[in-house]
Structure 1
């Protein structure tokens, strides 16, 4: 893995490689952007490049240092992820203990903190002191999708590296070339901001089941005396699929948007392209304003979920709304 394998993050890569070329690697970086845009892959590649003995501004992937990172056993690289819902002070204290020992080489030690915005106040304050006064040369890489949730003092002491959502068409081509099924890929690229997030979705068996269920519910809701409530009860709430309700609302949003694409003649933008015949036959059965109102219903359903409204009630109210 080298920087050449990271797609669509040219600004971030230029910043990191310039630091390597100029021997001006910062003591702390804040990788900020939507989840799944390649932050962790970039962080690991950057760590490899810092350790690499063969290349100055990239990871060769062949030297002993690079191979140690690839195998997950480099003694100078440490990764912290949330313990449950948050990163706790004991994790930061453990990191500080490890960093009280010098590196085995001339390189600085590197630590990566994933979902750094989940740090408790105690953990964040402990890290702040560590950022300001590391006992040995160290490089911190903090990964966050919600930088505003982090202490301003941590933000100000880190060099911010922006990560951007990838263009869906770019991800679509890459993932189809990798062998993932096209109908699933077309949905996944609109549900995630990056290739990592898409692959994670596509590798879940339930993702195809959820998509098929949304198609069934979407079609049933078009007819009078809809059986969608019965379908939801038997195929969703009596199975483990009910934990993916937010994703279901997101897919419904794409389904209704496809109806608008058909009305506007924008077939190239259709996500459920394998359902083109049904979409074409049914898009005109509702006005444009009605399809938009259905999209609003889906957004309202997601909002209720976040306020901890009962999931079954949220979906049933949504499905009833489609029939009115």
Structure 2
């Protein structure tokens, strides 16, 4: 796999490829960023490039070393995953035992620790000693959604490689290519920060259902007022959708924002583009200030949910707020 096959993350790729070109490889890296933004894919590509027999700053994908990484059977690459809720000291000790043996190829050995922030304190302290005094040439890659959660002593001994949320348009293009419905993909990329999270949501039946409910409730509130409360009772609180109220309010926020996009002629920014006919009719029924106040109300309801305010009460207050012209 080549760095060119990795979506986005130009800064991270540039940093790693410059290190390869200059032969200035750090003994440890922290790949920190939102889940699904490509850390593991980048880590495997970096390892492949370190082993590659053909290229200096990338992986050719064709030589024997690259093929071993691609097939998951390279003897000098070891990946550590959490066992249950944590990464335990015995896993780090086993890694240290494996790394007492030198690489037969002369390359540095590489280890990748996924969800590195889940290491127990004992495991992290054991890894710290390993980082400082590896018995053989080694490169460690610690992957974390929140690198700041790692021990400060580990952070200070590793090179930081930041990963950023993927561009929504980029994610939407990939999801559509994978066969996910365009209307759902267009919404989910504004709810989740990475492709993995997007895929996880799209594979749940409730997401398509809650999107439809948002459209029904929004239209009902604007046109018929308080009848939307009855609809919410039937469609949300007598179904499993009541477990996903945060997503409901988030989708409402996007839908309300679409009204502003329409008012300002920014059709290319409309999320619910398949509802353009309805949006065009509703957008002109309220002022810009009113649409903004509705968006603020959706945000406020999401905050209340985090403070354990009754979910049904939040939904009812929100729908009544929409009904007031």
TM-score (normalised: structure 2): 0.85
Show the counterpart of 1:38: 38
C-alpha deviation, 1:202, in angstroms = 3.6
Which residue does the alignment assign to 1:192? 192
Task: Confirm or deny that 1:11 pairs with 2:21.
Answer: no
Larger Rg: 2
Q: Which residue of 2 aligns with 1:151?
A: 151
Q: Displacement of 1:114 after TM fit?
A: 2.4
The residue number in structure 2 matching 1:29 is: 29
Say which is worse superposed, 172-181 or 30-39, in terms of deviation. 172-181
Change beyond 3 A, Cα 1:58–1:323: same
Change (3 A) 1:17 1:270: same
After superposing the two structures, state which structure 1 stretch, 308-317 or 287-296, moved more.
308-317
1:209 aligns with 209
* 1:33 Cα deviation from its structure 2 partner: 2.4
Q: Select between 230-239 and 61-70 the one with higher mean Cα deviation.
A: 230-239
Q: CA separation in 1, counterparts of 2:88 and 2:305?
A: 27
Q: Number of aligned pairs?
A: 324
Give the match's secondary structure for 1:110: strand
**In the alignment, which residue of structure 2 is the partner of 1:285?**
285
Alignment partner of 1:59 is 2:74 = no
Deviation at 1:190, TM superposition (A): 1.8
Judging changes above 3 Å, is the alpha-carbon distance between structure 1 residues 172 and 101 closer, same or farther for their aligned structure 2 residues? same
Q: Indicate conservation of the 8 Å contact 1:253/1:298, yes or no.
A: yes
Change (3 A) 1:16 1:296: same
Please name the residue that 1:261 is paired with: 261
Aligned to 2:300: 300
Give the C-alpha shift of residue 47 in structure 1. Answer: 1.4
The aligned counterpart of 2:74 is 74
Deviation of 1:242 (Å):
4.2
Structure 2, unmatched stretches of 5+, are none
Q: Deviations over 1:239-279 (max 9, x none)?
A: 44444433322212111111121222222211101111111
1:229–1:22 distance in 2 versus 1, CA, 3 Å = same
Identify the residue that residue 124 of structure 1 maps to in structure 2: 124
Q: Is the 8 A contact 1:89 1:126 kept in 2?
A: yes
TM-score (norm 1): 0.85
Distance in structure 2 (CA, Å) of the matches to 1:303 and 1:85: 28
**C-alpha deviations, 1:272-293, integer Å up to 9, x for none?**
0111111111123333333223
* SS across alignment from 1:78: strand
Q: What is the CA distance between 1:232 and its match in structure 2? A: 4.1
Q: CA offsets per residue over residues 157-207 of structure 1, 9 Å max, x none?
A: 111112233333333344444543321222122223344444444444443
Q: Partners of 1:68 and 1:239 in 2: how far apart?
A: 49
- Which residue in 2 is equivalent to 1:105? 105
SS in 2 for 1:139: strand
Superposition map of 1:227-246 within 5 A: 227-246=227-246
Distance 1:259 1:20, change over 3 A: same
The 1-side partners of 2:229 and 2:216 are apart by 11
**Contact 2:226 2:319 (8 Å CA) reproduced:** no
Give the deviation of 1:9 after TM superposition: 1.8
8 Å contact 1:30–1:159 — kept in the other structure?
yes
- Residue 231 of structure 1: how far off its partner (Å): 4.0
Distance across 1 between alignment mates of 2:130 and 2:93 = 9
